Structure 1
Amino acid sequence: MPTAVNYAMFDNLFNNLKGFIDSKIQEVGNDLQKRFGVPEPAEPFVLIRRFTPADSTVTKGGIAIVKEGWQIEAYDNNTQSLLTSTDPLRNVILFEVAEPDVQECVLACQFYATVLNTEKPIKVSLGLRRPGQWGAMITTSQSTGVSSTEDFRPYEVRAHFKKEANAAKVQISVQFESSGILKIRDIELLQAPVKSES
């Protein structure tokens, strides 16, 4: 028959194992962040581009200009009805600009946003789109999720840029994983030099 001592010993073993696993997961996360993450900027960010409703978006459908910003809806392209959670992801490319004229930098996209009528956070991504092998385009990006809020809130997403043989386009896009509406304004693209590792 189990005793309280056996339960305490099991709890102690379980907590030790859990602590060991958590520390290993943290180590792997830190290693991935160093390898694939965005480095720290060496100096304050400087503005490269400010986007206004006068700028034309790459994706046209389901985007309306409201006051000083954009209202983007997730809908089925064929029926113009709102998506259900089983429908595929909708990707909206807002803006695409030429790569910075530097060898390496940290890019940042700062904006204000709010979302309505969504089950899942709506992701706003900052990415680099380059030609890959056999003519395919490859996009690598970082994103931040915008959850339901009543008021506009500030957000920032960063990406690491390194100049390569194939020129890249810097892309700001929105991904919906469920139906919803994203209101976004004051979109700015910034850059800063990369902090050297010492």
Structure 2
Amino acid sequence: MLDTLVTATAPSPPVVDDAALARAAAEGDTRAFERIYRRHSPRLYALLWRLCGGNAARAEDVLQETFIQAWRKLPQFRFESALATWLHRLAVNTALMELRAATFESLDIGESGMDVLAEMAETPRCHATGMDLERALLTLPPRARAVLVLHDIEGWKHQEIAVELQMAVGSSKAQLHRARSLLRTRLGDA
């Protein structure tokens, strides 16, 4: 007789797509909106952290403002694009409004940050290079930094950046060139 081991696994809960969650949240379902937040906030935070010049508190504030706006605007969401795309645009627009309203402060590293920097000074050069790049990125003008982050880190095309930042495609390319040139100069590779 053939012995076989059969394991029964509980079926995993069905994955609810973004469109269904958005529809439910638009009708006031806070649990659906919480799922949207949990699903999309990590990626949006990473984007906002870079756009905010590495200021974690500012990025968190912009992230929260993004989701407040999303809650208010979900009833008008027309499902012409993916929810992730819509949230991404909303986050970028919120960050850019913040950039226009005030110049981002430099990164406040505090005492614990000083410990991290001290440790990094003792590590091999490859780690310090990453820190040098992050610091140089923080010094870029806001529009140039936004174009660099969206193009080189997020993988956006110049056409998408131009639409989102309300500039000509040529301006997007010029800002990217400017950002890269400034980074090379600040990193000593010019």
TM-score of the two chains, using structure 2 as the length reference: 0.22
- Name the structure where strand makes up a greater proportion of residues: 1
- Name the structure where helix makes up a greater proportion of residues: 2
- Greater relative contact order, per chain length (Cα 8 Å cut-off, separation 6+): 1
TM-score of the two chains, using structure 1 as the length reference: 0.21
